[in-house]
A and B are shown apart, each in its own frame.
Chain A
């Protein structure tokens, strides 16, 4: 019965991370330009990779539960802290546009020697320290604001896992249709920006 509780195995974590980093880099996420492009609608790589991954993993988990191989109660479902989560999300979205990465992708950027990736990761170390220091003064907010513990979408919306899963699959497929349309429409702007950026690259020392 899964999970196999190998979380404490350094080797399992290392190999999981290795596969994670390999797939992120192969999908183009060591390049800040390809990530930021998501928000300019001409190249929807982030959406496609993220939501395909989310749906595939969701199906693995919940088909496993359905077949009796996976114990959902033993899986880590990130606990819900409404306001810290939402404000953190808004800030992470800001970091995406300003910095061009999220934490995981910035690691692969460093691994392929992108200098902007080094600055981003350095910034994250500073930002993490700043949080650790400042959060002492809003500890109550951080630990209790909208703190609901383990709440699933099924609990929140009062529907079955099947309905949620099918709903997420349908919304994802719909978003992919829109993404393809968006790329067809905004692709030319994107191609122009990319060509200009590549020309500018050649002038880099």
Chain B
């Protein structure tokens, strides 16, 4: 099955300022339509709550971090952030398919093996899942949405994210350059 509709150079991306302006329209639009910004991790948090509820309903109902979502008749999956994450999957696929980028492959730095990259991606994902819950949002929900709506906490979060990224970049450079 050919998942790529148009033959274009897959490595050519939008000009970042253009992409940023369009992302800003989407973000501003979300605030106008819903009164809230965007979210990336929120949907996944709901998925985890639903899975926990599925396999260990008694534990889920007693865990104060998710009890409010799993109690009652409504599924934790029936939430704005879940729809948004689903939409992001579809939108990402459409964009990739239009430029020939839908391809089963591993993206990594030149100095590590594919298997090493998988382990690091898993580890980074675990850290990030934990982090996004602790910070009550991620680069989308806190940094972008809270940054644009001028939340103090979100700006402190932005500084922390970029600060830590730059602190670790050099010691961990073998992963990427």
Contact = CB atoms under 8 A, between A and B. Distances in A.
Contacts, number: 563
A110 interface: yes
Chain B binding surface SS class: helix
Nearest to B127: A95
A9 B80 CA distance: 7
A25 B140 CA distance: 14
Interface in A106-154: 106-117, 119-133, 135-136, 139, 142, 148, 150-154
B175 to A, nearest CB: 7
B148 A58 contact: yes
A102 to B, nearest CB: 4
A190 B173 CA distance: 12
The 10 closest A-B pairs by CB, nearest first: A99-B124, A123-B125, A17-B87, A56-B24, A88-B135, A127-B129, A52-B20, A89-B160, A93-B164, A104-B40
A128 B130 contact: yes
B57 to A, nearest CB: 14
A49 interface: yes
B88 A76 contact: no
17 contacts: A17-B89, A17-B90, A18-B87, A20-B23, A24-B23, A52-B16, A52-B23, A54-B144, A57-B37, A75-B31, A95-B131, A99-B125, A116-B121, A120-B124, A125-B51, A196-B110, A197-B108
B61 interface: no
Contact of A116 (B40, B117, B147, B149): B117
B53 to A, nearest CB: 11
Nearest to A118: B121
A91 interface: yes
A4 B158 CA distance: 28
B105 A23 contact: no
A87 to B, nearest CB: 6
Contacts of A164: 150
A150 B30 CA distance: 19
Contact of A108 (B96, B139, B162): B96
A112 B33 contact: no
A107 B125 contact: no
Contacts of B40: 102-107
A51 B20 contact: yes
Interface in A157-205: 161, 164, 176, 189-190, 193, 196-197, 199-201, 204
Nearest to B160: A89
Contact of B84 (A2, A17, A74): A17
Contact of B95 (A3, A6, A26): A26
A10 interface: yes
B162 A93 contact: yes
Contacts of B138: 92, 102-104
A199 B91 CA distance: 29
Contacts of B172: 97-98
B31 A3 contact: yes
B39 to A, nearest CB: 8
A164 to B, nearest CB: 6
A25 B84 contact: no
A92 B29 contact: no
Contacts of B131: 88-92, 94-95, 127
Given A23-B22, A102-B140, A4 B121 contact: no
